[in-house]
Amino acid sequence: MGFKIGLLGLGTVGTGTVQILQDPAQRHPLLQEIELYRVGVKSLEKPRSVSLSPELLTTNLEEIVTDPAVDIVVEVIGGLEPARSLMLKAIEHGKHVVTANKAAIARYGAEIFTAAENAGVYVLLEAAVGGGIPVIEPLKQSLCSNRIHTVTGIVNGTTNYILTRMQTEGGDFDEILADAQQLGYAEADPTADVDGLDAADKIAILASLAFGGRIKLPEVHCEGIRQISAADIAYAEKLGFVIKLLAIAKRDFSATPAHLQVRVHPTLVSKTHPLASVNDVYNAILIEGDPIGQVMFFGPGAGSGPTASAVVSDILNIAAILKVGRGAATRSDGTPLLDPLLACSHQDYCTIASIDELVTRFYARFLTQDYPGVIGKLGTCFGNHDVSLESVVQTGLRGDSAEIVVVTHDVREGNFYEALSEIRTMEAVSSVASTLRVL
Ligand code: HSE
C-alpha cells in the first residue's frame, strides 16, 4: 500500500521535498511507500530544477485537495490565501495536512486545528518554525512531561545574519541590509523579517505548544531591528553583550492566574549565554522546563533541504500512523480520534500580560550636554521611579554631546518608561538615542 501525496507549491521548499521523495535510498524505508501523486503549481511553463512527469502537474490546486485518492496534502505555497482555504478544504475532504506555513497557522490555527479535530485528521507543521530544526515535535512529544517555563529563540535567519554582520563589521543597519538583499540573504521587501513579524508568528506557535493554549497574535509584543545602530552594537560589545533579535515566551508563575509574556524584540544577550554564539542565518531555540533544565535546538532555520527535511519527516509521521491503522478509538459519529501527543487540540486562549508588566533589565543610551552633575541627575530621576542602575558608562563625545550609557537592574517596564519620559524633559538631555532590553 502506498500513501499518495498532493503537493501544493513547487518553490524552494516544494522542490526540496520532491528531491527527498525522489531519492529514498538510505533514508527511512517507509519513504519507499510515499507516492508523489499530484503537484499543484502556478505555471506549467516555468522551468524546474526537478524532473517530474507532466501529468503530475496541474494549476488546479482545488482539484488536488478534493481528489479522493490523495491521502496527505502538503502545503508549501506560503502566504495567507489561498493557503488557508486550500488547507481547510483538504481537511473537509478528510486529508491529513503537512504545512510549512507559519503565517497561516499563527493567524488561523484555531480555525484549522478545530476543523482537523472535527474531521479526525492531522495537521503537522514541523517546518513552520526553525526550518530543519526539530522543535515542534520535541515540544509536543519528547518534552511533554515537563512544566515549561521559557522558550527563547533566534528564529529569524535574515535578522540574525544582519546583526551578526553589524557585529563583526561595525556597519550600520541600512548598508548591511542593502548588501544582504544583493546577496539574497534578505527579501526585496524585508518587512516581515526586519520588523520582527516573522519571528512573532513563530513564537506564537511555539508558545501555544509549550503552554498548551491558543495565542492571539495581536497580543504578541513585536519590535524589529531597524533602529539598532553601530553605536549600540559597539557599546553592547564593550559591556560584554551581543545584540540578538529574540522571540521569548515565558510563563509568570507568580501571577494569579499564571500569565504569559510573549514578545519579540532586539535584546542584549551576555556573551556567555548559549544563544550569543548563534550567528549568521542559523536559528536556535532554548527551552527551559522542570525537570529538564535547559535544552537547546540549533541548526539551519530555512532553506530548501533543511525545510524539506522537516516536511518529509511530518509526511512519514502521518504515513506511519496510517500504516498501522488508526486504532479503534472513534467518536460517536465514527470520526477517528487523534493521537493527543501529535494533534493540536487546545481550546482555551492563554492570558498574555501587557508589556508594561514585564520585569527586565534595560540598556539606554543618552546624548546630553557635557557639564558636571548630568549623570547625577539621570541617576536621581531613575531612582525616583524605582529604577536601580547596575552600570553607567561615559566614554566620550558624539559630536558636541556627551554619550552616556546605562544598564539597569531588573525593573518594571512601566517604571522605566515613566523615568524616561521625565528624563526627556531635562534641559541637559538632548535625546534618548536608544533603549533595549537586556536578557
Ligand atoms: N524569512 C525567514 C528567516 C525564513 O529569515 O528566517 C523562513 O521562515
**What pLDDT does residue 406 have?**
96
Pocket lining: 71 vs ligand 1, CB cutoff 6 Å? no
Beta pairing partners, 363: 407, 436
Pocket lining: 301 vs ligand 1, CB cutoff 6 Å? yes
**What pLDDT does residue 396 have?**
76
Pocket lining: 406 vs ligand 1, CB cutoff 6 Å? no
Burial 136-168 (b: 16+ CB within 10 A, else e): bbbbbeebeebebbebbbbbbbbbbbbbbbbbe
Pocket lining: 198 vs ligand 1, CB cutoff 6 Å? yes
Global pTM reads 0.96
Give the closest residue (by CA) to ligand 1 atom 4.
Answer: 302
Of 191, 198, 205, 283, the one to substitute when testing ligand 1's pocket (max ligand atoms within 8 A of C-beta) is 198
**What pLDDT does residue 359 have?**
93
Start-to-end Cα distance in the chain: 52
Residue 216 falls in the annotated catalytic set: no
Listed by start position, the domains of the chain span 3-132+304-324, 136-299, 356-438
Mean pLDDT over residues 189-202, rounded?
97
Q: Which set of grid coordinates corresponds to residue 70?
A: 490523495
3-state secondary structure of 19: helix
Q: Is the pLDDT of residue 60 over 80?
A: yes
**What pLDDT does residue 161 have?**
97
Mean pLDDT over residues 187-209, rounded?
97
In the chain, the percentage of residues whose pLDDT exceeds 70 is: 99
Mean pLDDT over residues 404-423, rounded?
96
Mean pLDDT over residues 5-13, rounded?
97
Mean pLDDT over residues 335-352, rounded?
90
Quick one: which atom of ligand 1 is closest to the CA of 283? 6
3-state secondary structure of 63: helix
Average pLDDT, rounded, for the chain? 95
Pocket lining: 201 vs ligand 1, CB cutoff 6 Å? no
Q: Which of 202, 244, 250, 323 is catalytic?
A: 202
Give the closest residue (by CA) to ligand 1 atom 8.
Answer: 302
**What pLDDT does residue 108 have?**
97
Q: Is the pLDDT of residue 400 over 90?
A: no
Tell me which amino acid residue 131 is: G
Quick one: which atom of ligand 1 is closest to the CA of 128? 8
The CATH number, out of the four listed (1.10.10.10, 3.40.50.720, 3.40.35.10, 3.30.450.40), of the domain defined by the range 3-132+304-324: 3.40.50.720
Count Cβ atoms below 10 Å from residue 299 Cβ, excluding itself. 17
- In this structure, are residues 8 and 75 in contact, taking their beta carbons and an 8 Å threshold? yes
Mean pLDDT over residues 97-114, rounded?
97
- Closest C-alpha among 251, 206, 248, 249 to residue 344: 206
Distance of CA 372 to the CA centre of its chain: 46
- Cβ partners under 8 Å of residue 278, min gap 6: 154, 160, 244, 284, 298
Q: Is the pLDDT of residue 171 over 70?
A: yes
187 CA from centroid of ligand 1 (Å):
10
Quick one: which atom of ligand 1 is closest to the CA of 187? 1
Of 159, 185, 193, the one to substitute when testing ligand 1's pocket (max ligand atoms within 8 A of C-beta) is 193
Superfamily (CATH) of domain 356-438: ACT domain (3.30.70.260)
**What pLDDT does residue 214 have?**
95
pLDDT band at 371 (very low <50, low <70, confident <90, very high): confident
Pocket lining: 306 vs ligand 1, CB cutoff 6 Å? no
- How does pLDDT run across 235-251, given as a tens digit for each residue? 999 999 999 999 999 99
Gap between the Cα atoms of 126 and 131, Å rounded: 8
Q: Which set of grid coordinates corresponds to residue 123?
A: 495537521
Superfamily (CATH) of domain 136-299: Dihydrodipicolinate Reductase; domain 2 (3.30.360.10)
**What pLDDT does residue 1 have?**
55
370 CA from centroid of ligand 1 (Å):
44
Pocket lining: 157 vs ligand 1, CB cutoff 6 Å? yes
pLDDT band at 7 (very low <50, low <70, confident <90, very high): very high
More confident residue, 328 or 276: 276
Pocket lining: 137 vs ligand 1, CB cutoff 6 Å? no
Beta pairing partners, 151: 249, 287
- How does pLDDT run across 130-155, given as a tens digit for each residue? 999 999 999 999 999 999 999 999 99
